[in-house]
């Protein structure tokens, strides 16, 4: 096998704490009838409550999972257990040719990948019907923005002091109108603003900044035809227009997209849930181009999320970036099989340098909400204002409220560690760190 997996990397794939607990309990040789590998994949048969054992297999090139158990979780407890055995007792796996049930799965995956790679154009819909749908949505958005513009003006005339006395419906009603206008990006921003007046004494400047960004979007969309191409793409994206992946993989003639081939370090992963929709953010860093990339994946309710990008590893891939003012979100266009353990990437030498980098990105795109910060030296500590991290020069950043930093402190031992996290302009949410040359997801 091409690399050594760590327990932390395996457990980072677990869908929940219960799966983690059950996976650990099954990661015992006595639970498995067979264990094998051919270098590309591992497989095993785990004893269960029925007569037939559960057949579990993992394609290590991504990794990808399959199990015959009825669990709807992904990866299931058997897959986690099999992977944990590989990380802790690799000698248990006999080198052998895959059995038929593994070989069939691997061949099917290969055929599916080939079909995706050869597919250069999606089926083209009726252009007249498509143009009609677009025109109808444009009209709805335009009408909705007129209402939102008036709502914002009324709010500013009344003054921000009145906002604290408003019920949640004040914001929800405005957001619902944006949903009806097919502008979900604006609806989400309005709902997120609803909590700001109740977060403490510093809320007025934060709310004013968010209202300013919202007003800027309204004005930008109303003048869309006069804006440069990159600004148009960014404004439309922020409003809620989705860019189809097929159009990125096979762009129209003359469309300019940023495409970068590199060895990408998978720095961290975060999963959030909004209205039964699971949103997975995976952050990458190009080791040659020295720039970040964000891979988004969505799953409704129990729909499995992509696990092919494992934090703490390197993948050789070609990414195509969604158009915008500061291209950050990307799509994996092609990747080479196999992964390697990641070596600590040289991050920003200081917090000041990292924030300067963030400031340059914000100057290009004022609507950035999450930005990756990779700090070469970070020392976690507790202060009267809560958990913070500092660099060796004394610069500090506050950590996200609610983040339990005790494990962070224990791993660092009070010494500088390399830390990666999401910065929202106010607080940092740690996602991973390197301690004693070991990658650890937070």
User: Which pLDDT belongs to residue 247?
Assistant: 79
Structure tokens at 231: 């600004």
Q: Tokens 């600004």 label which residue?
A: 231
Q: d(Cα 321, Cα 258) in Å, to the nearest integer?
A: 5
Enumerate the β-bridge partners of residue 433. Answer: 419, 440
Same domain, 102 and 27: yes
Enumerate the β-bridge partners of residue 265. Answer: 285, 314
Asked if residue 76 is part of any domain, the answer here is yes
Asked if residue 2 is part of any domain, the answer here is no
Asked if residue 248 is part of any domain, the answer here is no
Q: d(Cα 328, Cα 365) in Å, to the nearest integer?
A: 10
User: Which pLDDT belongs to residue 123?
Assistant: 43
Same domain, 103 and 15: yes
Same domain, 14 and 113: yes
Asked if residue 189 is part of any domain, the answer here is yes
Same domain, 363 and 304: no
Q: d(Cα 413, Cα 387) in Å, to the nearest integer?
A: 15
In terms of residues, how long is the chain? 442
Q: Which domain holds residue 424?
A: 351-441
Q: Which of 147, 142, 156 is nearest to 211 (CA)?
A: 156
Asked if residue 386 is part of any domain, the answer here is yes
Asked if residue 306 is part of any domain, the answer here is yes
Structure tokens at 284: 């990458």
User: Which pLDDT belongs to residue 120?
Assistant: 42
338: exposed, middle or buried (Cβ count in 10 Å: 0-12, 13-18, 19+): middle
Same domain, 310 and 405: no
| Residue 225 CB coordination number (10 Å) | 6
Same domain, 310 and 288: yes
Residue at which a domain ends, from 70, 97, 118: 118
Structure tokens at 253: 């003639």
Q: List Cβ neighbours of 316 (8 Å cut-off, separation of 6 or more).
A: 261, 262, 263, 264, 335, 336
282 touches 305 (CB < 8 A): no
Q: Where are the beta strands (DSSP E) in 38-79?
A: 41-46, 54-59, 64-67
Asked if residue 244 is part of any domain, the answer here is no
Same domain, 113 and 137: no
Residue at which a domain ends, from 118, 152, 179: 118
Total count of domains within the chain? 4
User: Which pLDDT belongs to residue 396?
Assistant: 94
Report the run of H or E that residue 141 belongs to, with start and end. Answer: helix 127-158
Same domain, 365 and 275: no
Enumerate the β-bridge partners of residue 280. Answer: 271, 297
Same domain, 109 and 157: no
Residue at which a domain ends, from 313, 341, 369: 341
Same domain, 291 and 231: no
Calculate the CA 22 to chain-centre distance: 26
Asked if residue 114 is part of any domain, the answer here is yes
Q: What is the DSSP letter of 182?
A: T
Q: d(Cα 442, Cα 435) in Å, to the nearest integer?
A: 12
296 touches 280 (CB < 8 A): yes
Structure tokens at 219: 């004005």
Per-residue pLDDT of the chain in tens (442 residues, 90 and over written 9)? 556 778 888 888 888 889 999 999 999 999 999 999 998 899 999 988 778 899 999 998 888 899 999 888 889 999 999 999 999 999 999 999 999 999 999 988 888 766 665 554 444 456 777 788 889 999 999 999 999 999 999 999 999 989 989 999 999 999 999 999 999 999 999 999 998 998 877 899 999 999 999 999 999 999 999 999 999 999 999 999 988 888 788 777 777 889 999 999 999 999 888 777 889 999 999 989 989 999 999 887 777 788 888 888 889 999 999 999 999 999 999 988 766 777 766 778 899 999 999 999 999 999 999 999 999 999 999 988 889 999 988 899 999 988 989 989 998 888 899 999 999 999 999 999 988 878 888 8
What is the full DSSP assignment across 71-118?
--SSS-HHHHHHHHHHHH-GGGSEE-PPPHHHHHHHHHHHHHHHHHHH
User: Which pLDDT belongs to residue 3?
Assistant: 61
In degrees rounded to 5, what are phi and psi of residue 155?
A: -60, -45
Cis check for the bond before 432: say yes or no (omega within 30 of 0).
Answer: no
Same domain, 311 and 386: no
| Residue 161 CB coordination number (10 Å) | 9
Same domain, 331 and 362: no
């Amino acid at each position: 096998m091409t690399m050594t997996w760590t327990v932390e990397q395996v457990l980072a794939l677990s869908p929940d704490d219960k799966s983690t607990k059950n996976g650990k309990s099954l990661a015992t040789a006595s639970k498995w009838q067979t264990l094998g590998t051919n270098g590309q994949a591992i497989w095993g048969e785990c004893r269960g409550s029925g007569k037939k054992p559960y057949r579990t297999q993992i394609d290590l090139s991504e990794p990808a999972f399959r199990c015959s158990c009825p669990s709807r979780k992904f990866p299931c407890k058997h897959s986690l257990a099999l992977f944990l055995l590989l990380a802790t007792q690799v000698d248990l796996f006999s080198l052998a040719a895959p059995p038929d049930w593994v070989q069939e799965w691997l061949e099917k995956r290969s055929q599916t990948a080939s079909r995706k790679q050869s597919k250069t154009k999606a089926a083209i819909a009726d252009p007249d019907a498509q143009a009609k749908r677009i025109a109808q949505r444009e009209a709805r958005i335009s009408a909705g923005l007129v209402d939102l513009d008036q709502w914002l003006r009324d709010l500013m005339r009344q003054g921000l002091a009145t906002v604290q006395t408003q019920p949640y419906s004040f914001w929800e009603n405005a957001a619902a109108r944006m949903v009806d206008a097919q502008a979900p990006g604006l609806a989400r921003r309005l709902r997120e603003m609803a909590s700001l007046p109740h977060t403490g004494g510093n809320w007025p400047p934060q709310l004013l900044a968010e209202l300013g960004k919202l007003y800027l979007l309204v004005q930008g969309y109303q003048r869309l035809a006069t804006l440069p191409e990159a600004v148009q793409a960014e404004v439309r994206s922020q409003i809620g227009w989705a860019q189809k992946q097929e159009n990125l993989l096979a762009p129209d003639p003359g469309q300019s997209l940023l495409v970068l081939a590199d060895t990408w370090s998978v720095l961290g992963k975060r999963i959030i849930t909004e209205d039964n929709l699971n949103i997975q953010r995976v952050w990458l860093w190009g080791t040659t181009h020295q720039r970040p990339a964000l891979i988004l994946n969505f799953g409704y309710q129990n729909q499995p999320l992509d696990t092919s990008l494992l934090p703490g590893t390197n993948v050789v891939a070609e990414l195509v970036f969604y158009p915008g003012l500061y291209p950050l979100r990307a799509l994996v266009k092609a990747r080479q099989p196999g992964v390697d353990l990641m070596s600590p990437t040289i991050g920003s030498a200081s917090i000041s340098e990292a924030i300067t980098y963030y400031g340059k990105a914000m100057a290009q795109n004022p609507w950035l909400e999450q930005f990756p910060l990779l700090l070469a030296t970070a020392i976690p500590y507790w202060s009267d204002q809560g958990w913070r991290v500092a660099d060796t020069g004394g610069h500090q950043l506050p950590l996200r409220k609610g983040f339990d930093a005790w494990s962070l402190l224990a791993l660092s031992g009070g010494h500088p560690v390399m830390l990666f996290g999401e910065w929202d302009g106010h607080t940092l949410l740690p996602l991973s760190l390197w301690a004693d040359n070991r990658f650890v997801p937070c």
